[in-house]
A = this chain, B = another copy of it.
Amino acid sequence: MRIEELNWMDVEEYLKHDDRLILVVGACEQHGYLSLLSDVKIPLALADAVSKQIGILVAPPINFGSSPYFLTYPGTLSLRLSTLMDAVEDIIRSAYGQGFKRILVLNGHGGNSGLKARLVELSNLLPELKVQWYAWWMAHSVETIAIQHEIKPSHANWLEAFPFTIVSDLPVGQKTPPQVPSEILDAKTAREVYGDGSFGGKYQVSDTIMQEVFDASLQDILQLLKFD
């Protein structure tokens, strides 16, 4: 269940028998034809599904991530990485002070990976804190599915085209991945390079494959939540 469905007495009750919390960190950024909030919607859907199974508490999502390279795409709302690190630190310190000692950060966005440095710094400061990190699209399990079906996972292609992230018709067929001149792209160049925003490959695959991906991630998360 999500914190928004509860009052503080409910959370106090929860803390008597559990000290785990899921924190979703996403992004509000261009995803081609998909929802600008795909990077929140996907990990949040996973968190909800997990919560339904084992009753773990889910914090409200951080709806913004580090997406400076996409700022030329309207609707992309990006935090400096330093701001994002501060926000995550503040939230974890809040929860830790109330008794949450094991926190799973469910990340939905590649640009947020610098967060891991702050999470380690914080783990050095807060003695009992245990943090797990899960970036679903980089999981071994998801990669395996992609290989099986011979489809390449990438930003704003089929991989993120879940029923709940599709907000418009998707192009048929696939896009040739563009030539990327550098790992460090300013927002102007990024738009020239990526055009519609997809990094290439198929725009959509069958619902069955998407469910496979979702289920595989779900199992990974259940495993991580054991914190052993």
Query: Which residues of A approach B to under 8 Å, CB–CB?
Result: 3-12, 14-15, 28, 30-37, 40-41, 59-64, 66, 68-69, 71-83, 85-87, 90-91, 94-95, 97-99, 105, 111, 113-121, 123-124, 129-133, 167-168, 181-188, 196-197, 224, 227-228
Given A6-B75, A12-B75, A80-B86, output 10 extra A-B contacts at Cβ < 8 Å.
Answer: A3-B36, A11-B36, A69-B120, A71-B94, A71-B97, A77-B90, A81-B117, A81-B121, A114-B114, A120-B187
What is the minimal beta-carbon distance from A75 to any residue of chain B, in angstroms?
4
Residues in B neighbouring A14, C-beta threshold 8 A: 74
Contact A12 B74 (CB under 8 A): yes
Q: Chain B residue with minimal CB distance to A5? A: B167
Contact B83 A15 (CB under 8 A): no
Interface residues of A, dominant DSSP: mixed
30 contacts between A and B (CB under 8 A): A3-B37, A3-B77, A4-B28, A6-B75, A8-B32, A9-B196, A10-B75, A11-B74, A12-B74, A12-B75, A28-B59, A60-B77, A61-B63, A64-B87, A64-B90, A68-B117, A74-B98, A77-B91, A80-B121, A81-B85, A81-B118, A81-B121, A83-B86, A113-B113, A119-B184, A120-B187, A124-B187, A129-B186, A130-B182, A133-B183
Contact A182 B82 (CB under 8 A): no
